[in-house]
């Protein structure tokens, strides 16, 4: 399957508005980070999305993606959901509903944030994104024939989902993960996990904590995402242990 990192930045993105730091002033394209999201194309041809970031429109255009079959949400924070309205262009063109999967809290919160998508009149004229919400529990589910395994993590006090598809797993905004959930990550080829910054943070793993998770899980490759402007690509990437790399926007790999 094919994976594209659509965005590797934390909630503010990088550069941060008004900031003149080394990373925000960097001319390295790898230091330009849109908000966190990933696109997955399975061998069966399913086009899957993890989160619809605030930058969803730009991400679709940049990567020339014009169709999505389903989206999985990690949680309801605005950096992860606010691009959802732009699914409208896809649901209009292909005249279809898109399935959205998330835990109950996320679905409840999204139904409040996007209350207008349930307006029958607007649905009739297809002037809202046509979406179907599915509440998922912490157990394996299928989209067509593809098995998706949620991986429950803590994001501060909030229970959120990462996702495993075959030997690929994607976890973001995690600050703690139980031994039981870590077991679901055995035998991975690629793990994408959040590593916010160098200093500790109450609701996200920092660099050292993310390195610790990677060393326990032992995937063949690990990519760090949801990065702040503390992380200057060139400098930090070259300091990481073998097998661990910083993700960057539009990074594409096959598994
Ligand atoms: Zn976030
Ligand atoms: Zn900065
Ligand atoms: Zn968050």
CB-based contacts of 153: which residues, under 8 Å, 6+ apart? 159, 160, 161, 162, 171, 173, 174, 175, 176, 177, 181
Whole-number Å distance, alpha carbon 26 to ligand 2 midpoint, is 9
Whole-number Å distance, alpha carbon 124 to ligand 1 midpoint, is 33
Whole-number Å distance, alpha carbon 252 to ligand 3 midpoint, is 24
What DSSP character marks residue 34?
Answer: P
Please tell me whether residue 236 adopts helix, strand or coil conformation: helix
What's the confidence (pLDDT) of residue 53?
Answer: 98
Sheet of 190-194: strands edge to edge?
141-143, 146-155, 158-165, 168-171, 190-194, 221-225, 244-246
Burial string for 195-228 (b: 16+ CB within 10 Å, else e) reads bbbeeebeebbbbebbbebbeebebeebbbbbbb
> What does the pLDDT look like over 185-210, one tens digit per residue?
999 999 999 999 999 999 999 999 99
Q: Determine, yes or no, domain membership for 151.
A: yes
Q: Determine, yes or no, domain membership for 108.
A: yes
- The owner of tokens 């326990």 is 216
Assigned token pair, 85: 């309205």
How confident is the prediction along the chain (255 residues), in pLDDT tens digits per residue?
999 999 999 999 999 999 999 999 999 999 999 999 999 999 999 999 999 999 999 999 999 999 999 999 999 999 999 999 999 999 999 999 999 999 999 999 999 999 999 999 999 999 999 999 999 999 999 999 999 999 999 999 999 999 999 999 999 999 999 999 999 999 999 999 999 999 999 999 999 999 999 999 999 999 999 999 999 999 999 999 999 999 999 999 999
Domains of the chain: total? 1
Ligand positioned closest to the Cα atom of 76: 3
Ligand positioned closest to the Cα atom of 15: 2
Q: Determine, yes or no, domain membership for 255.
A: no
Q: Determine, yes or no, domain membership for 252.
A: no
What CATH number does residue 66 fall under?
Answer: 3.60.15.10
Domain that holds residue 212: 2-247
What's the confidence (pLDDT) of residue 121?
Answer: 96
Whole-number Å distance, alpha carbon 170 to ligand 2 midpoint, is 26
Whole-number Å distance, alpha carbon 10 to ligand 2 midpoint, is 12
């Amino acid at each position: 399957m094919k994976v594209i990192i659509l965005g590797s930045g934390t909630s503010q993105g990088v550069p941060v508005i008004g900031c003149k730091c080394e990373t925000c002033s960097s001319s390295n394209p790898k230091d330009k980070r849109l908000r966190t999201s990933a696109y997955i194309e399975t061998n069966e041809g399913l086009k899957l999305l993890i989160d619809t970031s605030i930058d969803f429109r730009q991400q679709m255009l940049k990567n020339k993606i014009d169709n999505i079959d389903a989206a999985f949400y990690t949680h309801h924070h605005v950096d992860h959901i606010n691009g959802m309205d732009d699914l409208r262009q896809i649901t209009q063109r292909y005249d279809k509903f898109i399935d959205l999967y998330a835990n109950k809290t996320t679905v409840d919160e999204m139904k409040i944030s996007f209350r207008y998508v349930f307006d029958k009149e607007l649905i009739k004229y297809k002037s809202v994104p046509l979406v179907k919400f599915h509440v998922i529990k912490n157990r394996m589910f299928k989209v067509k024939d593809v098995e998706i395994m949620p991986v429950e993590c803590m994001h501060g006090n909030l229970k959120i989902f990462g996702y495993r598809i075959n030997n690929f797993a994607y976890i973001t905004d995690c600050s703690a993960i139980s031994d039981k959930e870590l077991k679901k990550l055995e035998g991975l080829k690629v793990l994408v996990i959040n590593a916010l910054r160098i200093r500790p943070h109450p609701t996200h793993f920092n660099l050292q904590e993310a390195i610790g998770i990677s060393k326990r899980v032992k995937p063949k490759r690990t990519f760090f995402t949801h990065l702040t402007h503390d992380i200057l690509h060139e400098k930090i990437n070259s300091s990481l242990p073998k097998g661990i790399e910083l993700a960057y926007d539009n990074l594409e790999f096959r598994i």
